Amino acid sequence: MRKIGFSNEKYTEMQSKRIRERIDQFGGKLYLEFGGKLFDDYHASRVLPGFKPDAKITMLKELADKTEIVIAIKAGDIEKNKVRGDIGITYDMDLLRLIDAFTSYGLYVGSVVLTQFAEQPSAVAYEKKLKALGLKVFRHYIIPGYPSNIPFIVSDEGFGKNDYIETTRPLVVVTAPGPGSGKMATCLSQLYHESKRGVKAGYAKFETFPIWNLPLNHPVNLAYEAATADLNDVNMIDPFHLEAYGETVVNYNRDVEVFPVLKAMFEKISGESPYKSPTDMGVNMAGNAIVDDDVCRNASNQEIIRRYYEAVVAKRKGDGSDSAIQKLELLMEKAGISVSDRPVVSAANIKAEQTGVPCAAMELPDGQIITGKTSQMLGASSAMMLNSLKHLAGIPDEIKLISPEILTPIMNLKTKHLGDHNPHLHLNELLIALSMESISNENAKKAYDCIPMMEGAEVHSSVILSSVDVGVFKQLGVHLTCEPRYEGNKLYHS
């Protein structure tokens, strides 16, 4: 069983209570800027074992009757077809995906706001599409001098020119397909319009990381820096909080840098700022739900190492940068760890040196390390997967789980009819073959039933894997790293 370091139940209860308190603080209307991922937060689930990827959505469901969601999307991102790197779809398509996802959880999506709107043709066409789908759409415009020219910004010529987003519920969650979409500006524009209408409203920010009440160099916070190494985000002590309260807490550079501007905007809009520091603006309670600090420390150290391998593989593919790699090396040094602290790395590489073929190693949640090598029928990942399932099911290694009668036709289909030059079975093909075999083979059925036990396992490959195998590992909840080398010398790799 995977060790648990975080209480999901405690988090849901404490977080919903904290948000209710913040709504009451502002007289019953709160604009909550939601940073990061509202659902599918796999980074949080990796560094806080026990955190469920949909924990934040589950928490919002506790407040469903009080909540409506506004999704912000930058008009320029629509125009240039900006793509989400993690799931590979454009921001405009992801917005529709988000609406469907929120609705499926019973949450009300009130409207969409097109930020930094300047009559971009693609944005105009998208606006028509959204309205045809029955959605309410509002426009927010580019404000000259934002965010420094506060007298102009907080005026009828600045925020005043933006559409007023009509909302009906006490908690307005402002989210977006990705960073830089204008969430904060949307919230502040709404505060201006509410103030003009005599409506008392407030603003707060929800960011899971860095966790403000953990030490600056706690591995959980270092893992956040590792996740944003390409963005140059840096964790730091909040100097405003230290000055105001004499308390040392953690925030990150962008919020600290922009706080004086935000404070001045609050004072211009409402006459005074409700906050003395950027940390004051936050409502995050994740740090209070850690129940085993050592488990979270170990998980976060592993995440830092994984991010390092992700960066060196990206560099090998021509997509990464030396600066990101150097920052990750510094973070590993700060955490007192190295790649040798990831046991599957040496297991896979030693096996590859001994056999002369690509190999992979998996560390199961019980600590056992299982390896696999490339053969005539199976790639290294598939061989390792079968060996691991045998171990979990208590099946002797010499027993074959899938008969050649099933494997051979699949290989022939790939090479003879589908134009694939590689006969080796990818992970998805292997698991489908195993599911077919499990109908009539008792051992295959035992192994197949152990697939959910893979969640949380660690894997390292001696070569860069195909996108297919990478995707299957991700779907299984397996944490993968690869050496920055290809199996062959071809220029094209899928």
Same domain, 272 and 403: no
Same domain, 123 and 197: yes
Per the CB < 8 A criterion, the answer to whether 212 and 224 are in contact is no
Question: In the chain, how many domains are there?
Answer: 2
| Domain-located, residue 404 | yes
What is the distance between the alpha carbons of residues 328 and 305, in angstroms, rounded to a whole number? 8
- Report the range of poorest mean pLDDT among 32-36, 58-62, 276-280, 402-406: 402-406
Same domain, 66 and 177: yes
Q: Tell me, what's the pLDDT at 86? A: 66
* Secondary structure of residue 477 in the 3-state scheme: coil
- In the predicted structure, residue 493 carries a pLDDT above the cut 60: no
Peptide bond into 210 cis (omega under 30): yes
Of 222 and 426, which is predicted with more confidence? Answer: 222
What is the distance between the alpha carbons of residues 452 and 64, in angstroms, rounded to a whole number? 31
| Domain-located, residue 100 | yes
Average pLDDT over residues 282-295: 97
| Domain-located, residue 233 | no
Q: Tell me, what's the pLDDT at 217? A: 96
Give me the torsion for CA of 421, 424, 426, 430, rounded to 10°.
140
| Domain-located, residue 299 | no
Split at pLDDT 50, 70, 90, the class of 481 is: very high
Same domain, 33 and 143: yes
Q: Tell me, what's the pLDDT at 41? A: 87
Q: Tell me, what's the pLDDT at 1? A: 66
CATH code of 165's domain: 3.10.630.10
Which residues sit opposite 109 in a β-bridge? 69
Give 493's contacts (C-beta < 8 A, 6+ positions apart). Answer: 317, 464, 466, 486
The counts of H helices and E strands in the chain are: 20, 12
Same domain, 261 and 357: no
Of 57 and 493, which is predicted with more confidence? Answer: 57
| Radius of gyration, alpha carbons of the chain | 25
What is the distance between the alpha carbons of residues 318 and 493, in angstroms, rounded to a whole number? 12
- In the predicted structure, residue 215 carries a pLDDT above the cut 80: yes
> Mean pLDDT score of the chain, rounded to an integer?
93
- In the predicted structure, residue 353 carries a pLDDT above the cut 90: yes
Split at pLDDT 50, 70, 90, the class of 345 is: very high
| Domain-located, residue 169 | yes
Q: Tell me, what's the pLDDT at 320? A: 85
Tell me the two tokens of residue 223. Answer: 């893992």
CATH code of 384's domain: 3.40.140.40
User: 237 burial class (0-12, 13-18, 19+ CB within 10 angstroms)?
Assistant: middle
Of 98 and 376, which is predicted with more confidence? Answer: 98
What is the distance between the alpha carbons of residues 139 and 73, in angstroms, rounded to a whole number? 10
Least Cα distance to 278 among 295, 298, 262 occurs for: 262
Per the CB < 8 A criterion, the answer to whether 35 and 207 are in contact is yes
Half-sphere exposure of 47 (CA within 13 A, CB side): 26
Q: Tell me, what's the pLDDT at 324? A: 93
| Domain-located, residue 231 | no
Half-sphere exposure of 286 (CA within 13 A, CB side): 24
Same domain, 117 and 28: yes
Same domain, 259 and 392: no
| Domain-located, residue 181 | yes
User: 259 burial class (0-12, 13-18, 19+ CB within 10 angstroms)?
Assistant: buried
User: 484 burial class (0-12, 13-18, 19+ CB within 10 angstroms)?
Assistant: middle
- Report the range of poorest mean pLDDT among 41-50, 322-331, 407-416, 433-442: 407-416
User: 102 burial class (0-12, 13-18, 19+ CB within 10 angstroms)?
Assistant: buried
Same domain, 52 and 181: yes
H or E segment and range at residue 15: helix 8-25
Same domain, 141 and 264: yes
What is the distance between the alpha carbons of residues 221 and 250, in angstroms, rounded to a whole number? 9
Where helices occur in 438-481 by DSSP H, the ranges are: 442-449, 467-476
First-last CA distance in the chain: 34
Side chain identity at residue 187, one-letter code: C
Tell me the two tokens of residue 218. Answer: 């706690």
Average pLDDT over residues 324-336: 96
Same domain, 260 and 385: no
| Domain-located, residue 421 | yes
pTM score, two decimals? 0.90
Give 271's contacts (C-beta < 8 A, 6+ positions apart). Answer: none
Per the CB < 8 A criterion, the answer to whether 385 and 478 are in contact is no
Same domain, 282 and 379: no
Angle at 493 between CA 383 and CA 319, to 5 degrees: 115
- In the predicted structure, residue 112 carries a pLDDT above the cut 70: yes
Side chain identity at residue 53, one-letter code: P
Q: Which domain holds residue 389?
A: 342-482
Average pLDDT over residues 82-100: 88
Q: Tell me, what's the pLDDT at 489? A: 63
Angle between helices 442-449 and 380-393 (to 10 degrees): 100
For 363-420, the pLDDT digits (tens) are 998 889 999 999 888 889 999 999 999 999 999 999 999 888 888 888 788 777 777 7
Average pLDDT over residues 420-434: 84
* Secondary structure of residue 108 in the 3-state scheme: strand
Same domain, 21 and 168: yes
- % of residues, the chain, pLDDT over 70: 98
- In the predicted structure, residue 185 carries a pLDDT above the cut 90: yes
Q: Tell me, what's the pLDDT at 492? A: 47
